[in-house]
Structure 1
Amino acid sequence: MEITLTIDGKEVLFKSNGAVAKRYMMQFQRDMLKDILSMGVTEKSFDKMSEGEKVKWMRDNIDFNMFYDIAWVFAKTANNEIKDPLSWLESFDEFPILDIIEPLQGLLEKTVSSKKK
């Protein structure tokens, strides 16, 4: 699955595939799935929150550094030419992580979901 987002006026491709969790582990020495699950909210419970509750929950519970790391992994998976995480982030004057989290949710779901019913 791929999506393109405009960040700081630049089109950035993000991609999820079977190597994403492994790339995350190799780059950050952390388990991506454990990091995601550590936030402790399910999609169903999040959908029931009001917008104000969602903002408060995200402010109180989200490790934004983890989302920068996840965004980099998806971008690096789409484009192997991307440099290290810090250099990539420095290439943007603005990187509105709160605007990017929701669009990347679909890629996250593809990474952690199961096809088994």
Structure 2
Amino acid sequence: MEKIITIDGRSVPFRATAAIPRLYRIKFGRDIMQDMRDIQQAVEKAQAGEEPIPVKLLEVFENVAYLMARHADPDMEAHTVEDWLDGFDTFSIYEVFPELLELWRANNQSIAESKKKRIP
């Protein structure tokens, strides 16, 4: 699945496929499933005014965003997360993460029909 997200006035393509968990694990040595869940919980707490997003999770979010952008555009000039982020003046987790989460969830939806729901 692909999605265009506007960041700092630019249209940025993002892509989520079955390869993302593997690529993420190889590049960052982490589990993207758990990281997406942790980021989502942190964003929800921050929006409710409970606590700020931990700096470590901001870095994890940046890694996820970079990998999905790189997956959509393998020929992009930025070869590191830092180089990619340097191309933006502003980059709000509150604006971008919900869009990435939607893309991630859409990619992970099962298209198989449950055997329990089949009528014989």
With the length of structure 1 as denominator, give the TM-score of the two structures: 0.74
Specify every segment of 5 or more residues in structure 1 that has no aligned partner in the other structure, as ranges.
47-51
1:104 counterpart = 2:84:
no
Decide which of 72, 89, 93 is 1:78's aligned counterpart. Answer: 72
Matching of residue 56 in structure 1 with residue 49 in structure 2: yes
RMSD: 2.7
Q: Is there any run of 5+ residues in structure 2 with no aligned partner, and where?
A: 115-120
CA contact (8 A) 1:20 1:111 kept: no
Secondary structure of 2:49 counterpart? helix
Higher RCO, 1 vs 2 (CA within 8 Å, ≥6 residues apart): 1
User: Aligned partner of 1:59: which letter?
Assistant: P
- Percent identity over the alignment is 25
Three-state SS of the structure 2 residue aligned to 1:86 is helix
Structure 2 CA distance for partners of 1:58 and 1:103, relative to 1, 3 Å: farther
SS state at 2:3 partner: strand
Q: Which has the larger radius of gyration?
A: 2
Equivalent pairs, count: 108
Q: How far apart are residue 39 of structure 1 and its match?
A: 5.5
